[in-house]
Amino acid sequence: MQKSLLKWYEIHGRHDLPWRNTKEIYHVYLSEIMLQQTQVNRVKEEYYFQFLEKFPTLEALAKAELSEVLSMWSGLGYYSRARNLHAAAQQSFNNFPTSQKELLKLPGIGRYTASAICCFGDEQNIPVVDTNIARVLKRYFGLIEPKENTLWSYAASFINSEKPKEHNLALMDLGSLVCLAKNPKCSACPLEKECLGKTEPHLYTQSKKKEYVNMELFYALWIKENKIALQHSKGPMYKNMLILPQTDPIEEDFVGEFKHAYTKYRLKVKLYKKENMALEEIEWVDLEKIGDAPISSLTKKALYFIP
């Protein structure tokens, strides 16, 4: 089965992904952080290369201002990833660890990310289990709602010790391209012959329904001399980033509204034109340079309502 898996990967694997064709630990680390909660093509086309151009080394990232890092992350979402990435760089740029134990001490790095860095960046003989790999393993071994340690144990028992990196990447791609959560393509799977879950694959993908928090937000569009008023966020959303100031919803000042999703929040955002506000800690940002500011995709959407 290992040989069949590697043969499939050789033909069908996603070999064009840039972070798979480098031995730079920093590049692998960056890709793993970016790929959390974000689609592969979006990371590849819009963020990965641009980020590395701005911060080509871990040391360059460590010495940058957090606002610069957040600016480059703008629109990617889940901004705690960027804050943790920056903090980890400051802690480790002189001697970035390559052991799971030491990597787990850095902010924002959990069991999967530590394993991925060690295997994909340093080719260590260790299992890697992400959502896609977990689905493949649960079906292949017939594991219904296994505990996390059990799943990792099966992954370790199945790993190809001669080619651990290719093996883990093959499982990852198999889960992404063939062993899908809905309507898996079992006839195209190299593991079908011995798969214990192929007759009822849906049994291994049952999950709890996500619960979302609905919120209504009222923001001000305060423009003066081609500059917009922004404030540093102090709340749980968009921490350390610049956001529009909140305002009272006065109907005659209404400009427009839009919907926006952010982590567990489902937001209805309403915008109001303001000409004067009694606010402290306002930062005026030139609209022509707004692209360099640490703003979120929510704020970017709001800018389209500026006449």
Residue 74 CB partners (closer than 8 Å, separation 6+): 293, 294, 295, 296, 297, 300
* Whether residue 252 lies in the annotated active site: no
Set 32, 275, 280, 281: catalytic member: 32
Q: Please give the span between the terminal C-alpha atoms of the chain, in angstroms, as a whole number.
A: 61
- CA 166, 171, 175, 177 dihedral sign is positive
Give the integer Cα–Cα distance in Å for 34 and 208: 25
Phi, psi angle pair for 273, to nearest 5°: -75, 130
With beta carbons less than 8 A apart as the criterion, state whether 100 and 126 touch: yes
Query: What number of other Cβ atoms are within 10 A of residue 246's Cβ?
Result: 14
DSSP-derived 3-state class of residue 243: strand
Which residues are marked as active site?
Answer: 32
